[in-house]
Structure formats: C-alpha cells, structure tokens
Amino acid sequence: MVQPYKHEPFTNFKDEENRKAYLAELEEVEQYLGQDYDLLVGGERIATEDKIISCNPANKEEVVGRVSKANREIAEKAMKAAVEAFKTWKKTKPELRADVLFKAAAIIRRRKHEFSALLTKEAGKPWNEADADTAEAIDFLEFYGRQMLVLKDGVPVQSRPNEYNRYDYIPLGVGIIISPWNFPLAIMAGTTVAAIVAGNTVLLKPASATPVVAAKFVEVMEEAGLPKGVLNFVPGSGAEVGDYLVDHKDTRFISFTGSRDIGLRIYERASKPGNGQIWLKRVIAEMGGKDTVVVDSEADLELAAQAIVASAFGFSGQKCSAGSRAVVVEEVYDQVLNRSIELTKQLTVGNPDDPDTYMGPVIDQSAFNKIMGYIEIGREEGEIVAGGHGDDTKGYFIQPTIIAGLDPKSRIMQEEIFGPVVGFSRARDFDHALEIANNTEYGLTGAVITRNREKIEKAREDFHVGNLYFNRGCTGAIVGYQPFGGFNMSGTDSKAGGPDYLLLHMQAKTTSELF
Ligand SMILES: NC(=O)c1ccc[n+]([C@@H]2O[C@H](COP(=O)([O-])OP(=O)(O)OC[C@H]3O[C@@H](n4cnc5c(N)ncnc54)[C@H](O)[C@@H]3O)[C@@H](O)[C@H]2O)c1
Ligand SMILES: N[C@@H](CCC=O)C(=O)O
C-alpha cells in the first residue's frame, strides 16, 4: 500500500551527526572525482573520445568528471532505441512504472548526502541548497509516482443506457528532456521521470556544466529496474544534439527548462514539422524570471529585509525564482534598504565544502563575466551599496551585491542577471509597487510583505506571476505544496510538482461502446 505523499524533510546541519555524515560523503565523492562516465543508449554504454569536462566552480582546477559527449549519429541511435522501447513501455502497467520511481526515490534517499555532496562539488551548492535539491528530486519521484496511480484509470464521464463511455489518458511517444545546471538533480530528475511514469520514453540531454550528477541519476534509474531504451542518456552540445533532436520527426514532445532565449528557439523550431512528421510537437518550456519582493509601508520590516536577502542571495541568486528586484514603498524604503545592507554584509562567501559558507561560487567563467558586466551597468544606473566585487582566480566568486535607487525600467530592474545581484526601486504607494512588479516581460515568482489583508487580496488578483508568496521570500517551492511555473516569458506555466503536470505528457482518448 502506497503511503500518502509527504515532502522529504530538510537536514538540520546544526546537528553534529548530520554534519559528520555530510563531511564523510564529501570525502566519499572526492574519491571518485575525475572519473569517466558513458552515454546510455538502448541499455548499451557508449564511451566517446570527445568528453564534456565538468569542473568544480569553487576550484576550477578540480575535475569532477569526464562525460562522454553524444553527436548526431549517437543521438539518432538513441532516438531509434527510444522509439522501439516505447512499443512495450507504453503498455507496461502504470503501477509497475510508478514502482520504478518509488524504488529510485528509496535509493536516492539512502544515498542522500552523497548526492548532495556531489552537487556541492559540481554545482557549487552550499550544504542547505544541495540538500534541498536532493530532497526535491526525491519529492518528484514520490509525487509523480502517486499522480500516475491517480490518473491510470482516466476520469469518469457520463454514459447512457446501453452505452459505455470512457475517458483515458495515454502516453505521447518519445520526449526530449533538456535540463538546466542550476537544479541539476531535482529539475533534471523531475522532468525525466514525469515523462517516463506517464508511459513515454525519453532522451535526456542534461546541462553541460553538470552532467556527472545526471549520469549518477541514470545509474539509479537502471538499478531501480527501468527497462533498456526507456531512458537514453545523451549529454552533448545544445547547438548540435539539441537542435537535431528538437527538429527530429520522431520527437513527440520536448520538456525544456532553461533560459528565455533557448526556450524561444526551441518553441519556434518545434512548431515546424519535419519531413515525415505526422503530429504537432508538444513543448513544455519553463524559462527565466525577474522576480520581485514588494514591501508595503504596513509591514514587518525585519521580515521584509530577511525575505529580500534570502530570495536574492540563496545559491548566489542562480534560481529562476530569485528575488532580483526589491520594490519598496517610499515611507519605509530607507529602513528596509539599510537593514538589507546590514544583513548582506554578514553573509559569508567561500568554498561550499565549508558548512559555514552561505554563498558559494557562480557556475562558470561565462556566468562570472556576465554578472560582473551587469554590476558595471548597475554602477551607471544606480548606486552600489553592498558588494560589487568578484574574484575568479581560484573559483568564480562574486560578493552579494545591492544596487539602490534604480529606475524601475533600468536594465538591472528588467533583465535576468542570474547572479547575486538585487536592485532596489522606490514606489509611491502599494498600487504603484504592484504596477512596477508587473512591468517586466516575465511572470514567474513574487512576494508581498504586508500586514494589510486588503492589500494581500489585491495582490492575489493583480500581481501577475505563477507563484506568489505572502510574508515570506519568493524562492523554495515544495513539490505537491506549491506547484511551480510562470506566466508570460517565464514559460508555459507547466506547474512542476502540481496535480496537472503529468497530463502535459499524455493525451486523452475517448472510447464509446454501444451494447
Ligand atoms: N522556470 C523554471 O522552472 C526554471 C528553472 C530553472 C532554471 N530556469 C532558467 O534556466 C536558465 C539557467 O539555466 P541554463 O543556463 O542551463 O539555461 P540554458 O538555456 O543556457 O540551457 C538549458 C539547457 O538547454 C540546452 N541547450 C542550449 N542550446 C540548445 C539548443 N539550441 N537546443 C536544445 N537545447 C539547448 C543546454 O545545453 C541546457 O541543457 C535561467 O534563465 C533560469 O531562469 C528556469
Ligand atoms: N523551484 C525553485 C526554483 C527553480 C528555478 O531555478 C524555487 O521555487 O525556488
């Protein structure tokens, strides 16, 4: 009997035993740094000469792993394997498919700190952020397994005398899963297993910065009993393998999570049918954000500053949900800004191996350069009142940075920076604050800090984002509790971890029989 779903608890690292356990797993992971990882195609392991070299962003000399790189020929082979495996996987009982997910969840739970320690090494995640990423991966496995058990018999529809009508969900076909590096376990695993449990077969192309944790996850799925060809592992270049698979006539759907620009490229390419293609490709695209914490004059100002700082600088602001804009009502602007500066100056930046590090590095040289470029723009557009410096000698470290006095239409307040930078703008009153909050092309997350019930209700209606939070920060959605996804250029609002998510990977079939 499947137990009711509950989210995986976070680890309390104040507990000495937990600290010791995490340190032991960091040592364990260090033993296997630098190893080679193969592709997986139709159950066959393939090693290529050409490798993706994954490096530790906190110590760029340290190689985390060398992962074989797929090319078009291998991608084609993987597509054929997935098409073949779909013939049997689509007919495999949904209960059995769900059991594979439950077993995979149990395996990852037993190796929880090992996976998190690998995230610390490969993505530069501080302990609590890595722990949350692993917990979310477990949650996706547990939640989607249960959702499939709910959907397996379809939904009742009306029948009439001597007529029996049914409404069932059937899988789509072969899906391409394209995942980002910032939640390299949770989002990669969640998008993969949602497609699989619904009866589809997939080709997984993880982000090139974090392929090792994806390779480890693929091993877990094999251990959990997934048949050959259902999950094919094809890391590779977006431009080469990504475009090829997006354009492929046998691709039935694409599940993409990543930037706005790549999301738009995929959306456009997928709309053009390839030679011999007999369907419209479905696209799930979860993209960027420019997320705002709104602070009202009638608010707990300490809570407001805490929420701004946590939302802006958790995992160095490298979350689509990051609160990269603070819009504060005039009356309390100076107080909130000053307290946010104080809190920011207390944050520790350093090697995420150290449990006392709050903020680790950003992911790579190109991210470092881009974020430092934005900080320079910020010097022109506003005033740097905290941080503003970076150091890329050993790893890619950037101080948490606050830029104050910004025009709401400035670049810092409009463009996704994806780093530890938050811009502050003043609003005349609460209505003006909401107007500013809605003035970007994105619509992913937002938070409102106020004690006023009417203002909460106004924001509930008028603040146009997929995930809106009151009196807390705007990051950290939990699977099954706060289904996640955004409006406008933030994507197709797929609501990962929500009750409708699996349906995006299925099609409904009506049957009607007369007696
Ligand atoms: N909305 C969400 O749920 C969500 C969650 C996490 C991250 N994100 C967004 O992701 C971005 C950061 O992640 P990123 O830097 O990995 O994004 P990215 O768009 O650069 O890459 C995402 C994935 O797309 C692949 N890719 C690149 N070019 C491709 C192509 N031509 N065809 C197919 N695939 C291609 C990459 O290799 C990677 O696997 C941010 O914009 C962030 O906001 C959104
Ligand atoms: N789901 C995560 C964000 C994922 C994107 O980076 C959150 O709610 O903070």
Please give the pLDDT value at position 463. Answer: 98
> Over 90: is that where the pLDDT of 503 sits?
yes
DSSP 514: E
Residues of the chain with CATH 3.40.605.10: 17-287+494-514
Assign 472 to helix, strand or coil. coil
- Write the residue with the smallest CA distance to atom 5 of ligand 2: 320
Q: Is the CB of residue 287 below 6 angstroms from any atom belonging to ligand 1?
A: yes
CB 450 within 8 A of CB 471: yes
- pLDDT of residue 93 exceeding 90, the answer is yes
Cβ–ligand 2 contact at 123 (below 6 Å): no
- For ligand 2, whether the C-beta of 484 sits within 6 Å is yes
Fold of domain 291-478: Aldehyde Dehydrogenase; Chain A, domain 2 (3.40.309)
Distance CA 146, CA 174 (A): 22
Conformation bin of residue 22: beta by default, left when phi > 0, alpha when psi is -120 to 50: alpha
Mean pLDDT score of the chain: 98
226-284 per-position pLDDT tens digit: 999 999 999 999 999 999 999 999 999 999 999 999 999 999 999 999 899 999 999 99
Question: Which DSSP string corresponds to 236-271?
Answer: --IIIIIHHHHH-TTEEEEEEES-HHHHHHHHHHHT
Residue 121 CA, chain-centre distance (Å), reads 18
In the chain, pLDDT over 70 holds for what percent of residues?
Answer: 100
Catalytic machinery residues: 286, 320
Instruction: For residues 417 and 373, give the distance between their C-alpha atoms in angstroms, rounded to a whole number.
Output: 10
Contact assessment for residue 258 and residue 99, using Cβ atoms and an 8 Å cutoff: no
Architecture in CATH of 17-287+494-514: 3-Layer(aba) Sandwich (3.40)
Q: CB–CB of 445/475 below 8 Å? A: yes
Distances (CA, A) of 484 to 103, 148, 443: 25, 19, 12
Does 486 score more than 90 pLDDT? Answer: yes
ipTM over 0.90 threshold: yes
The minimum-distance atom of ligand 2 relative to the CA of 477 is: 8
Q: Tell me which residue has its CA closest to atom 1 in ligand 2.
A: 477
One-letter identity of residue 65: G
Question: What are the structure tokens assigned to 314, written together?
Answer: 């958790």
Start-to-end Cα distance in the chain: 36
303: pLDDT confidence band, cut at 50, 70 and 90? very high
User: Model confidence at 137, in pLDDT bands (50, 70, 90)?
Assistant: very high
Is 322 touching ligand 2 by the criterion CB < 6 Å?
no
User: Hey, how many other C-beta atoms are within 10 angstroms of the C-beta on 439?
Assistant: 16
The mean pLDDT of 129-133, rounded to a whole number, is 98
pLDDT value at 1 more than 90: no
Q: Is the dihedral of CA 418, 421, 427, 431 positive or negative?
A: positive
Distance of alpha carbon 97 from alpha carbon 100, whole angstroms: 5
Contacts of 52 (CB under 8 A, 6+ apart): 66, 67, 68, 69, 208, 211, 235, 236
Helix then strand then coil, in percent of the chain rounded to 5, is 40, 25, 35
Residue 486 burial (10 A CB sphere; 0-12, 13-18, 19+)? buried
Rounded Cα–Cα distance for residues 396 and 366 (Å): 10
267 lines ligand 1 (CB under 6 A): no
Q: Which of 257, 272, 318 to mutate to test the pocket of ligand 1 (most atoms within 8 A of CB)?
A: 257
> Where are the domain boundaries for CATH 3.40.309.10 in the chain?
291-478
